[in-house]
Amino acid sequence: MSNKATPVFILMLMFLITFTTATIQDYPEQSVGEQFTFCQTCYDSTYITLSTIQTPNETLFINENMTSMGSGDFCYNYTATIAGRHDFRGISDGCFNTFATYINVDTPNIIADIVLLLFFSSLILILYSTSSKVNYDKWYNSIKTKYEHKNSPKVILSGLTYQMLKNTFLLYYLLGFPILLLLENIVTSFGMTSIQTIFNSLFGIYTVGLFAVIILFLGRIQEFIMGIVEEAKLSEWGA
């Protein structure tokens, strides 16, 4: 190759490299469990097929045509279920016929999930400790006195609080919901996707059980109110 042709060849090579890299998008880091749109740009293609996605623990065989967005953009919606590098590979009828690029996926919310999990677990321990130290007989007599003095709003509020602390199963049950959600997020962040089906079943059972727990709790409140009314009547007769 002559010395005159060398600069021309280098310029052509630089142009070719620039054109090649221009067809590959520069993606920011994504998060586990959050859907993002993966796109490739190829102006002379009529289709781009996403062949595979290589995750840190498996290869997903997609083999689907990416959606044409116009102006040479082809996109595919993807939700990562595990942190790490995800390699996207595909083919098309233009732009050098193949592409290979990758996206990094992290778990920015896992620390927050763990903190919240510890918080709700601590609430359960505090609730258990508090409810076990309450003098319920003294509290009950105080509520009965409010009823005898016709202070209905205080009777209702005190009665609800009394029943919630004495029958803590409702509060335990309600605190169980965010704990289950946080546990699901944490195991998903670590790529244990097979456990997700177990959590889905647990949520279904938990939702049905919530109605039973609420009905039981309302029954306890009714018994509590009727008990106060009956005792107040007996006190009036005795007087």
pLDDT of residue 194: 67
At 72, list the tokens: 């040479």
Q: How far apart are CA 110 and CA 10, in angstroms?
A: 48
For the chain, the average pLDDT equals 79
Residues 6+ apart with CB under 8 A from 100: 87, 88, 89
Percent of the chain whose pLDDT exceeds 70: 77
Q: What is the pLDDT of residues 178-206, one digit of tens each?
A: 898 888 777 766 666 667 678 778 888 88
